[in-house]
Amino acid sequence: MKTKMLAGLILAAFLGLNVAAQDWYHDREERYHGEGWRSQIFVQVRSDLDHVWSARHASDKERNRLERTKQELTELQAKLDAGHFDNGTLNDVIDSIRKSANDDRLSPRDRAVLSDDVNRLKDYQDDHNHWKR
């Protein structure tokens, strides 16, 4: 009896985590509807990085690279808010996220999220003067 209850609790917990993950992907899709996300692009991408790597066991080297990338995203957002563009740092961020998007330890869905982020960042880079602030 105890074994069945324990198995039921484990199954319920697993299903609950799966539903929460599904909700995050749905919420992410909602965040990117319309144009409002553009003024907060670097915050949005950082949020994606936080989620994608939160439950993963990245190596120390990978964790350090990701922390540096998240810090650069924070700095880029502050510069964007002040009306400045930093192409060099943006190139570094794009390269870093591209490496993560190619990491086989991530699920195909998470790699697709990061690839989408790379594309959005490249779009911003190519046409940053025309994006709403």
Tell whether 59 and 94 lie within a shared domain.
Answer: yes
Q: Give the lowest-confidence range in 17-26, 82-91, 105-114.
A: 17-26
| pLDDT at residue 44 greater than cutoff 90 | yes
Tell whether 22 and 53 lie within a shared domain.
Answer: no
Domain of residue 4: give its range.
Answer: 1-31
Which amino acid is it at 96?
A: S
pLDDT band at 125 (very low <50, low <70, confident <90, very high): very high
Nearest to 62 by CA among 106, 28, 118: 106
Of 1-5, 7-11, 34-38, give the range with the top mean pLDDT. 34-38
Instruction: Tell me the mean pLDDT in the region 19-35.
Output: 81
Q: Give the lowest-confidence range in 31-35, 67-71, 77-81.
A: 31-35
Give the CA dihedral 67, 23, 81, 34, nearest 10 degrees. Answer: 140
* Phi-psi region at 84: left, alpha or beta (left = phi > 0; alpha = psi -120 to 50): beta
pTM of the model: 0.77
Tell whether 52 and 112 lie within a shared domain.
Answer: yes
Q: How many domains does the chain have?
A: 2
